[in-house]
Chain A
Amino acid sequence: AQSVTQPDIHITVSEGASLELRCNYSYGATPYLFWYVQSPGQGLQLLLKYFSGDTLVQGIKGFEAEFKRSQSSFNLRKPSVHWSDAAEYFCAVGARGSNYKLTFGKGTLLTVNP
Chain B
Amino acid sequence: SQTIHQWPATLVQPVGSPLSLECTVEGTSNPNLYWYRQAAGRGLQLLFYSVGIGQISSEVPQNLSASRPQDRQFILSSKKLLLSDSGFYLCAWSLPGQVPRNEQFFGPGTRLTVL
- Prevailing SS type, chain A contact patch: loop
Residues of A within 8 A of B109 (CB): 41-43
Proximity string of chain A (103-114) to chain B, C-beta cutoff 8 Å, 1 when within and 0 when not: 011110000000
Q: Contacts A100-B49, A102-B100 given: A107-B43 contact, CB under 8 Å? A: yes
Instruction: Contact check, A34 vs B41: say whether CB atoms are below 8 A apart.
Output: no
Instruction: State the total of A-B contacts with C-beta under 8 angstroms.
Output: 54
Instruction: Contact check, B41 vs A94: say whether CB atoms are below 8 A apart.
Output: no
Q: Which of A15-23, A44-52, A61-69, A76-84 contacts B (4 or more CB under 8 A)?
A: A44-52
Interface check A90, CB cutoff 8 A: yes
Instruction: Contact check, A44 vs B90: say whether CB atoms are below 8 A apart.
Output: yes
Q: Name the interface size band of chain A.
A: 20 to 34
Residues of B within 8 A of A (CB): 32, 41-44, 46, 49, 51, 57, 59, 90, 92, 94, 98, 100-101, 103-109, 111
Residues of A within 8 A of B (CB): 9, 32, 34, 36, 41-46, 49, 51, 90, 94-96, 98-102, 104-107
23 contacts between A and B (CB under 8 A): A34-B103, A41-B109, A42-B108, A43-B90, A43-B106, A43-B107, A44-B90, A44-B92, A44-B106, A45-B106, A46-B105, A90-B43, A94-B101, A95-B100, A100-B32, A100-B49, A100-B94, A101-B49, A101-B100, A102-B46, A102-B100, A105-B43, A106-B43
